[in-house]
Amino acid sequence: MAYSVPRKFPTTIVGSYPKMPQALEAIKKRKSGEISEEEFKEIVKPAIREVVEDYLWAGVDIISDGEQAREDMVVYFAERMRGYSIGDWVRVFDNEYFRKPIVIGRVEWISPMTLDHWLYTTSISQDRPVKGILTGPYTMMEWSFDLYYRDRRELIIDLAKVIRREVEELIKAGAQYIQVDEPALSTRPWREDAELLKEALDIIFKGLEAKRIIHICFGRLERIIPYILDYPVDQFDLEMKNSNFRLLPYLKEYGFNKELAFGVVDVHSFQVESIREIEEAIDTVMRADIVNPEKAYVKPDCGLKRLPRDIARAKLKNMVEAARRAREKY
Ligand SMILES: [Zn+2]
């Protein structure tokens, strides 16, 4: 029997979850060339199972694979499409390094990048829907060095085609929720960039029979809200708790009319929000009079990967209970 997602305030996640030890081990072995991609996919599965067990324990309605295979949201995809070379580690802060992928040729889809783990997660989700989650073309572009196209529009359009191809695989397999993550957009909140992404999203989402979602977080999103509200998506998935619901009046002012998935727990804080505090967060959004409960999804601000596992699951548990109470109230 199909799982029935609540009609009001469904609960979901953005995607990433704390890495299980098995996943960290698998990523290390793959990087050192000890194991093949096929072996890698297999040995990450027990980690995904642990994540799904936490989601089910907490009672989240729409889940993910916890992005256990993804060492980094850009590098993961860059390593699995044509056109990229993975650069050396670049120092970004005192002690933080990250590997910046380099575009050295035309980017092209080779084979499914996320499908296996989506299928595996679906097989153990007890019929709960699993989101297909992909790093968006704008973020792929912004967080890479481009030595080939030397033209942002050409690069983003080709990246969008690669992502579209992956989305088609997921939909063919039965995915009902497709989410594109664009954290880089709010770091460059300019009209020109917002419009460039719209063109790319048209390619990714055109004519799709699935819930189309874009996740954007942090930064100065309010500056570009007028230019993103007509994106070809059904749902905006936004960070809200960390910025104290600052975006709400802007969404109201510009006539927001899509579904809104809003963050009710802060992914940067180790403090577990109480059920009461999360209920108040839901009340704050309802008072803003932007969406009705049928179009309101309750979720954390962003991925949970930086939190310890016990804190991540405790936050989810309280979130689910707060959403259940909101269903009685609204
Ligand atoms: Zn995010």
pLDDT tens for 216-262 read 999 899 999 999 999 999 999 999 999 999 999 999 999 999 999 99
3-state SS, 188-215, equals: CCCHHHHHHHHHHHHHHHCCCCCEEEEE
- For ligand 1, the distance from its centroid to the CA atom of residue 170, given in whole angstroms, is 21
| Mean pLDDT for the stretch of residues 283-295 | 98
pTM of structure = 0.96
Q: What is the pLDDT of residues 36-76, one digit of tens each?
A: 999 999 999 999 999 999 999 999 999 999 999 999 999 99
- For ligand 1, the distance from its centroid to the CA atom of residue 303, given in whole angstroms, is 6
Q: What is the pLDDT of residue 263?
A: 98
- For ligand 1, the distance from its centroid to the CA atom of residue 35, given in whole angstroms, is 30
Count of CB atoms situated within 10 Å of the CB of 217: 22
Say if residue 89's pLDDT is above 80: no
Helix (H) or strand (E) run with residue 255 in it: none
- For ligand 1, the distance from its centroid to the CA atom of residue 328, given in whole angstroms, is 29
- For ligand 1, the distance from its centroid to the CA atom of residue 15, given in whole angstroms, is 9
- For ligand 1, the distance from its centroid to the CA atom of residue 128, given in whole angstroms, is 22
Main-chain dihedrals φ then ψ at residue 141, nearest 5 degrees: -70, -50
- For ligand 1, the distance from its centroid to the CA atom of residue 20, given in whole angstroms, is 20
- For ligand 1, the distance from its centroid to the CA atom of residue 279, given in whole angstroms, is 22
- For ligand 1, the distance from its centroid to the CA atom of residue 321, given in whole angstroms, is 23
- For ligand 1, the distance from its centroid to the CA atom of residue 267, given in whole angstroms, is 9
Distance separating alpha carbons of residues 107 and 159, to the nearest angstrom = 6
- For ligand 1, the distance from its centroid to the CA atom of residue 215, given in whole angstroms, is 6
Distance separating alpha carbons of residues 190 and 27, to the nearest angstrom = 36
Domains along the chain with CATH numbers:
21-73+108-329 (3.20.20.210)
